[in-house]
Amino acid sequence: MQLWGASIYYSAKLTDKNKLIMKIIDKLSDRLDLNFFERSGHKKISSVLNWTGVALLDEKDNKVDLARCYMQELQKISCGVCVPCKNGTDVASEILENICIGKAIIEDIDRLRNLCDWIMSSSKCTVGTIGPSSVVELIDNYREDFEKVIKSKEIIKRGDYIAHVTAPCINGCPSKLDIPNWMERVRDGRYEDALQSARRNTPLAGILGRTCFHPCQDNCRRANIDDSIQICLIRRFAADEVFYSNYKPDFKIKDNNIKVAIVGSGPAGLSCAYYLRLMGYKPVIFEALPVLGGMMNVGIPKFRLPKHFLDAEIGYILSTGIEYKLNSRLGKDFTIKDLFGQGFKAVFLGIGAHLGQNINLPGENDNLKGFFDGVEFLRKVNLGQKIDIGKKVIIEGGGNVAIDCCRTAVRLGYKDVTVVYRRSKEEMPAAYDELETAIEEGVKFEFLTNPVAILHENGRVTGVRCRKMKLGEIDASGRKSPVEVPDTDFDIETDDFIMAIGQVPDFDCLKDVPEIKIVKGKTISADKFTFMTDMPGVFAGGDALTGPISIVDSNRDGKNAARRIDQYIRTGTFTPTDDCLFENLFEAIGVYDKNEVIKNADMPPGNFAPKQIIKPVKERIKSFEEADKGFTNDDAVYEATRCMRCYYLMLVKFED
């Protein structure tokens, strides 16, 4: 098989651990788009070194040079907290450099080998405990190569390498935040530095601290000992500490006076505008709503994301020098061709998904009083518009919008709030914590129940006809499919009915732009790497590109689109960077083993995560004030100390 054009074979010298990495690489041919890597302009790969061992794709590669370059990269990421790692990797790098320049003696091989053992047995994080393993494998399997170089005093030329660092939590994060880096800063009380570290990959650090579904925590190795680290709450704490201080960031931006239009101010649009601005561009945001923030402002209840904090984080983004125009709707107030005519060199479409999904439920299109789609309901509440409510409401749906609707309904004063969902509790896509919180707040759930008609009299909702369901085979969603149970219809009386079964983009704004294709009426067609549509210079990201996704996913799209827009304007072409290459590689092979058994005397089990402060149920349901209060200073610092700094290094060598 082929990996980036290089043949893979098994060497007789490979140990079982070497074979592990070879098996990982074997999987890549089926899971990676190899054409993507050919676009990077690199030569063929000849060897790969990482935390699992060494893969020699070309037996002719110089093993001593491989060890030297790998150890030098490892030394760069040693933080200096523990002496064995910081000093050990420094001395090991010096020994390897001396071997490569003809200044070593034979005894240096054993000195180096023993030093690696000492580093791995005495260090506090994976940089030291796991990192040197590749050098150990090279020494153990190719000792004669090291001896030959030392005896001959041969000068070893440095090969062509690139290296990249990841961690299980980083790899799990769609936006690739360097979580261990800012975790260290919180641990040391350097909150401003922590926030700036997070902002290298997101300008929405505080917002994500409150709203992210935290895939990073699902990939935290600390869970293999006791509890996952509460990463989002630590990030939120750092952001709060800075926002409520007098800290004012100092942006050093070199303007290039090139304008880029950002259509939509949701997380994708804000992120794209922010990173373009840092690169010197002059982005202008066009927002159809009377407020900035997109669904973050009109779709997330204020008890989850307070308006003053959202405004503060958006204010930080705008403080870089970004202009914006509210109540400016694409297709009505301006067109894409207008933007290019006004001198904009590129356009980013981050228009979101602001329409409730229509399933033609009988009564749905009869303009009934008491009927809302979930997106409309939340928008009206968030914009302060008056809603006439009854005593009882039924919400249909099982996602986060449905949970936001039912918790909002409780706070509006409904006495009886029920969610009906056609699958079981285990199949609900809503965040588990949010579901449990809704139950705490008095929301009732009817599972395996599907509405089949809205009942009404005189233009007013009076009830919902439902049908019992059962679970069938696994469907395309990866969940058990809901199957109707015949002759089980029953009616539930209600004053209001909220349909919260999903949301879709509104593409009316693009109806006069045939160059931009819409896939099955649901998403914009764009290249998955460049983010560019079929209309040159027009890019897309977020919900409109993929369908409804999370804020952290949208942030990733906006950030990556900014990079592509920059390449497009400067060069007219798109070339994957080394970061892109590695991110795709790590996504393909994965870097976290949930079944790993961690044996380390410095990490005994039993240091469980603290709980955040939450207002009592009776208090929090009376208002839209923030219900979750986050961590105290002591809890945030303690939690940051639980981070094991699980950095993993990979080095790739290209053929000479």
Closest C-alpha among 43, 54, 36, 60 to residue 5: 43
Residue 298 has pLDDT above 90, yes or no: yes
- Name the pairing type of β-strands 160-166 and 53-56: unpaired
Which pairs from 596-602 meet CB under 8 Å and 24+ separation?
A: 596/221, 596/224, 597/224, 598/221, 598/224, 598/225, 600/129, 602/124
| Spatial separation of the C-alpha atoms in residues 171 and 591, rounded to whole Å | 7
Of 34-38, 349-353, 422-426, least confident by mean pLDDT is 34-38
| Residues 498/409, Cβ–Cβ less than 8 Å | yes
Place of tokens 């980083």: 170
Q: How far apart are CA 430 and CA 440, in angstroms?
A: 15
The SS3 of residue 442 is coil
427's tokens: 């199949």
Ranges of beta strands (E only) in 184-265 are: 259-263
CATH 3.40.50.2300 fits domain 259-354+505-573: no
Mean pLDDT of 351-369: 90
| Whole-number pLDDT of residue 35 | 44
On the question of pLDDT at 135 being above 50, the answer is yes
Give the model's pLDDT for residue 174: 93
| Across 104-113, 123-132, 463-472, 549-558, least confident range | 123-132
Name the pLDDT band for 603 (thresholds 50, 70, 90): low
Residues 6+ away with beta carbon under 8 Å from 254: 280
Q: Which residues contact 432 (CB under 8 A, 6 or more apart)?
A: none
The answer to whether the beta carbons of residues 235 and 209 sit under 8 Å apart is: yes
* Residue 224, CA distances (Å) to 50, 123, 168, 177 in order: 21, 19, 12, 21
Collapsed DSSP state (helix, strand, coil) of residue 262: strand
Q: What are the pLDDT digits (tens) for 177-191?
A: 999 999 999 999 999
Q: What are phi and psi of 523, to 5 degrees?
A: -140, 155
Residue showing tokens 């918790």 = 407
Strands 538-540 and 449-457: unpaired
Rounded mean pLDDT, 452-463: 96
pLDDT above 60: residue 61: yes
The residues facing 453 across adjacent strands are 465
pLDDT at 401 over 90: yes
Please say whether the beta carbons of 648 and 167 come within 8 A: yes
Report the pLDDT averaged over residues 443-448: 97
- Residue 566: the pLDDT is 97
Longest pairwise C-alpha distance within the chain: 98
Q: Characterize the bridge pairing of strands 628-630 and 45-50.
A: unpaired
Strand partners, 348: 262, 539
Q: What are 2's strand-pairing partners?
A: 7
Residue 34 has pLDDT above 60, yes or no: no
**What was the pLDDT predicted at 42?**
56
Q: Strand, helix or coil at 526? A: strand
Flag the least confident range among 221-235, 538-552, 573-587. 573-587
The conformation of residue 595, written as its DSSP 8-state character, comes to T
Q: What's the rounded mean pLDDT across residues 476-505?
A: 93
* Percent of the chain predicted with pLDDT > 70: 93
**Per residue in 509-541, pLDDT tens?**
999 899 999 998 889 999 988 999 999 999 999
Integer Cα distance of 162 and 73 in angstroms: 10
Give the DSSP letter of residue 427.
Answer: G
Residue ranges per structural domain of the chain: 259-354+505-573, 356-503
What is the distance of C-alpha 195 from the center of its chain? Answer: 17
Residue 435 has pLDDT above 60, yes or no: yes
Measure the CA–CA gap between 114 and 109, rounded to whole angstroms: 9
In this prediction, residue 41 carries a pLDDT of: 58
In the CATH scheme, what is the homologous superfamily, with its name and number, of domain 356-503? Answer: FAD/NAD(P)-binding domain (3.50.50.60)
Q: What region, left, alpha or beta, does residue 202 occupy, with left being phi > 0 and alpha being psi -120 to 50 degrees?
A: beta
Taking the CA atoms of the chain, what radius of gyration do you get in angstroms? 28
- For residue 423, the 8-state DSSP code is S
The band of 377, judged by pLDDT with boundaries at 50, 70 and 90, is very high
> Average of pLDDT values for 616-627?
93
The reply to whether domains 259-354+505-573 and 356-503 share a CATH topology is yes
Task: Map residue 15 onto helix, strand or coil.
Answer: coil
- For position 37, what pLDDT does the model report? 46
Q: Is the dihedral of CA 300, 301, 305, 310 positive or negative?
A: positive
pLDDT higher than threshold 50 for residue 9: no
Q: How far apart are CA 623 and CA 616, in angstroms?
A: 12
**Within a 13 Å sphere around the CA of 597, how many CA atoms are in the beta-carbon half?**
1
* Secondary element (H or E) of residue 282: strand 282-286
Lowest pLDDT segment from 383-397, 523-537, 594-608: 594-608
Nearest to 646 by CA among 200, 86, 184, 213: 184
Instruction: Give me the residue label for tokens 């699902």.
Output: 218
Per-residue pLDDT band for 287 (boundaries 50, 70, 90) equals very high
- pLDDT, average across residues 420-425: 96
Give the pLDDT band of residue 43 (cuts 50, 70, 90). Answer: low
Each residue of 217-247: pLDDT tens digit?
A: 999 999 999 999 999 999 999 999 988 777 7
